[in-house]
Amino acid sequence: MTISSDKIPANGTGISTTGVNGHLNNVGTNSSSEPAVKSGLQEIILIDELPRETWPMAASIRPNGDILLPRLNGPELYNTQHPKTHSNPCPSLEPKIVHSFPDATSVFNICQLQGTTREEYAVLTAIVDLETPEVYNTAVWRVVPSAGDATGDIKPEVTKIADIPEAQLCIGMTSASDRTLLVADSGAGCIYRINVETGTLSIFHGDESMRPATRKDALGISRIRVLGNYLFYTNTSRGTLCRLPVRWTEDGQDLGSTNASEIVASGLANADGMAITRDGATAYIGSYISGTVWKVEIDFETGSGVVHILRERIPDPTGMELVYAKQNQEHTLFVVCCGCLGQEWRDKVGSKWLDMLHVDRSIKVTVEIFITYEPNPDYIRAGCEN
């Protein structure tokens, strides 16, 4: 397996590399008719370190610079390195399996837990019949990695936080506070609240804006983030970015919904991955069906958003993470890519999955790929030149 260090200049021209999971990818700039959009980013980095046959949907960047990647089409959680998260210019080429979850066939998401004295994560798993598709045995686990990295064994402490027996298709998850974890059910169109200390499960909120657009659609609410007094979320089949006003308890450890949801932006076809800046002024939304990443400029006071196409032809973007440098620099957007596996697998399993994801097999696309190679002097000095 080859690590692809795909770097997309945030405000410059695109580059072509040997990219996601061993495929050739032409990563272009804004190709819409509107003027070039200033991204507000230092750069965009593609995460595609897993082998070709794996399908990641999310990521969490560890304090040591390693990346934890859950596998959608398997029960494993991986630990890998990336050249852009490590000072070492020659990271390990082989990701390591951190844990294989029992009674699961899919690992949907991961997020770091708040308020812990050690490095702890919540991991969302389920059993999935990919050809039906049906999902059951949804559960959330606490994973505490031991000291180690992608070059050595990681022996984690793994315990179950809670089961979600009524879940239909849980995709999004976020740690709202030290005590409260929120999980989005895309099929049911609701958000569950989980007390990470007791495992107590309850419905946090559910409304029409979170449900799939029609009965034929399977994907409603997808990614969720809590920022201040709002919960932001994408809806895949409705193509929307929304926010829900929330009210915190006096101790700041639990929250409830207030008022109605607001549509911040629409027209985001197959909206999935989402990242929001700390000030709430900018959201980045991705669609792994079209390979588009949008920038949404948000008026935080009014809740209205203006949508710009930031990049197109990114290879199947799914999860997104914003990383801030210690210095006073613009942030970096890390984009998880599931590569060409998604398209190959959708074709294999038949029309039900294709309908679910709004994919039309009758459309044929021809892509010109231009590959350029530029020697990296840092790699040369480190003796890593092939």
7-381, CATH topology level: Neuraminidase (2.120.10)
Q: Give which of 119, 115, 99 is closest to 107, Cα–Cα.
A: 99
Q: Is 279 exposed, middle or buried (0-12, 13-18, 19+ CB in 10 A)?
A: exposed
CA distance 161 to 172: 16
Residue 178 has pLDDT above 50, yes or no: yes
Mean of pLDDT values over 4-21: 35
Residue 272 has pLDDT above 50, yes or no: yes
pLDDT for position 3: 28
Mean of pLDDT values over 185-196: 97
Structure tokens belonging to residue 21: 């999971």
Q: What is the mean pLDDT of the chain?
A: 79
Structure tokens belonging to residue 66: 């390693």
Q: Give which of 341, 289, 336 is closest to 53, Cα–Cα.
A: 341
| CB-based contact 265:243 (threshold 8 Å) | no
Predicted model pTM: 0.81
Residue 329 has pLDDT above 60, yes or no: yes
Q: Give which of 316, 315, 274 is closest to 294, Cα–Cα.
A: 274
Query: What digits encode the pLDDT tens for the residues 32-78?
Result: 434 467 888 989 999 876 766 778 899 999 988 889 999 988 999 99
CA distance 291 to 132: 25
Q: Give which of 242, 233, 293 is closest to 266, Cα–Cα.
A: 242
Q: In a 3-state reduction of DSSP, which class is residue 123?
A: strand
Helix then strand then coil, % of the chain, to nearest 5: 5, 40, 50
Is the torsion defined by CA of 133, 113, 233, 192 positive or negative?
positive
Which residue stretches of the chain are H helix? 341-349, 351-356, 377-381
- Enumerate helices (H) and strands (E) in the chain, giving the number of each: 3, 27
Mean of pLDDT values over 152-158: 82
